[in-house]
Chains A and B, each alone.
Chain A
Amino acid sequence: MSSIKYALLAPLMAISALTIAAEPVDQQQDVAANPNVSVKVQRGNVEFIRWDNNSIQVKGELDELSEGFIFDVKGNTVVIEDKLPRSYQGSNKQGSQLTIYLPTQLSLDAEGVSADFALSQLNGQIAIALVSGNIEAKQLSGSNKLTTVSGNINSEQLSGKIKLETVSGDIDDKDSKGEAEFRLVSGELDTQSDFTQVSIDQVSGDIEATLSQINQINMVTISGDANLNLGAQLSKGHLETISGDLTMAFSAAPNLNFMIDGGPGGKINNQLTDDKPIKQKYSSSQSLQFKSLSGDGQVNINTISGRISVK
């Protein structure tokens, strides 16, 4: 009896396996110059690649649970979406595997859930928002905002105005330039770039930054430690740490006036000049004001209980 049952079930199982197999996609449409492209892919891997055509091509495989592929072009607006059921279970491996070829100049707004996105050589307004997916971005220029919740962001050779945000993921950036804003909660930030302006908001993760072309820096960290290696042309800085330690190391003597407030529990270590911190008479608070070279620029550093080192 059981062998008959299996014999009947086998073709059914084969059919169901075929129905959930990933469906290939290969579509191309012409688009206007500088299109507004919106992409929604919830899981899988998506690669955004520049090409020199006024058209967009989507190649690869749809999600195993895909309920349909949307590729609409209306005037300047392009919508690309791999539609999934309202609820599902499964892993990223069963997700969409897509390569999207795009014109270099565009406005791109792409979102995903667990999908990993990789982008390269695009120019314009680029906004990426993921939940647990990772973002890899190379050679983007213009205005870029890359956001993920628990995924990591790896960026390289970005330029223009850059905003990178993550909650628990890490940010690893190198060889970028322009103006950057980094926001993290518990992730680690590592940047080795030629930014001229940088703003860093960090809560508990650590910061490692080598910024040799920096002119202006704003940083606030609560309990994370920051290790900043800076070029000598820094002219303005505002750095706050609550309990985290901060080390600022300059490649050469900067032309800056430093005002450091060590707060009630902080410690100040100055290796740039011979100036020593002043201790308050009736408390353990330390503060230090000194000039390096003629002190034309201004750097303010405040802490409550962190250790501040300048060298």
Chain B
Amino acid sequence: MCSILWLTQWRAEPELIQVQTANVTTATIDTSASVEVDNHLIELINQIAQTHQSQLEGFIRNQYTVSWQLSADNKEHIQTDIAKALAELESASVQVQAALTQQPTNQQLWQLWRWIMQRQITLLQQGQKLPFTHTRPSQGNTL
């Protein structure tokens, strides 16, 4: 959740950077500044993606695993719907991240990415509240 909050705070920055980039381009003095900004942003994108991924994994690990995550073959449609939606969000997140890497100053892409990440977390939270039997993972140490 921290990465989402942090991203919310950060949202205004791409616009500033875009203005800076535009100034540099119109002045046609030095494109290395904008390349540097892009590299910095790409690094940031990768960091956010990593943090978000580890938070998602932690989220799943630290709860009693909800049955819809374990029962891919279960025919209960809500379970499969949520599992499908999570898979689609994950694939969408990867697509948007790749697009952002190509256009790191694109504010709309940042917003879309932020929404997708937020939706993933909301969906996991919703999943916890769903009326299904919660089961502990069958693997791992038993103390």
Contacts and interface: CB of A to CB of B under 8 A. Distances in A.
Nearest to B86: A167
Q: In terms of DSSP, what is the predominant structure of the interface of chain A? A: loop
Contacts of B81: 131-132, 149-150, 168
Contacts of B111: 201, 220
Interface stretch (B1-9, B25-33, B44-52, B102-110): B102-110
A85 B133 CA distance: 10
Interface residues of A, number: 30
Contacts of A88: 131
Interface in A182-237: 183, 185-186, 201, 203-204, 218, 220, 222-223
A131 B130 contact: yes
B99 interface: yes
B78 A132 contact: yes
Interface string A21-65: 000000000000000000000100000000000000000000000
A222 B99 contact: yes
A240 interface: yes
Interface residues of B, number: 30
A89 interface: yes
Contacts of A204: 92, 95
A161 interface: no
A222 B133 contact: no
B130 A220 contact: no
Q: Which of B112, B115, B130, B133 has the most CB of A within 10 A?
A: B112
A242 B109 CA distance: 10
A114 B77 contact: yes
Contact of A168 (B76, B85, B133): B85
Nearest to B106: A240
Contacts of B123: 149, 167
B142 interface: no
A302 B99 CA distance: 12
Interface of B: 76-78, 81-82, 84-85, 88-89, 92, 95-96, 99, 102-103, 106, 108-109, 111-112, 115-116, 119, 123, 126, 130-134
Given A131-B81, A168-B84, A183-B115, 5 more contacts: A88-B131, A113-B130, A132-B78, A240-B103, A302-B103
